[in-house]
């Protein structure tokens, strides 16, 4: 069984082979938006302060 590879995937793989510096730029962009250091104490405080959501949000009787 042959593995399917889309045209876009082929293009990106070949383009990144021809432009290896772009991998570094891609990593910098990811670090800018996604790869943030995590603080366990802050996350625990957020978890403790969360309020449970009602089963039906618009029910004013409960």
pLDDT tens, per residue, the chain with 62 residues: 568 999 999 999 999 999 999 999 998 988 888 888 889 999 999 999 998 877 887 877 76
Predicted confidence at residue 20, as pLDDT, reads: 92
pLDDT of residue 1: 57
Angle at 33 between CA 18 and CA 48, to 5 degrees: 145
Contacts of 62 (CB under 8 A, 6+ apart): 54
What integer pLDDT is reported at residue 5 of this predicted model? 93
The pLDDT assigned to 23 comes to 92
| Per-residue confidence (pLDDT) for residue 34, from 0 to 100 | 83
């Amino acid at each position: 069984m042959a593995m399917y590879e889309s045209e876009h995937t082929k293009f990106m793989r070949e383009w990144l082979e021809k432009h290896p510096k772009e991998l570094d730029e891609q990593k910098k962009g990811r670090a800018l938006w996604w790869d943030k250091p995590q603080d366990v104490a802050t996350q625990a405080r957020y978890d403790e302060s969360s309020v449970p959501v009602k089963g039906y949000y618009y029910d004013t009787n409960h």
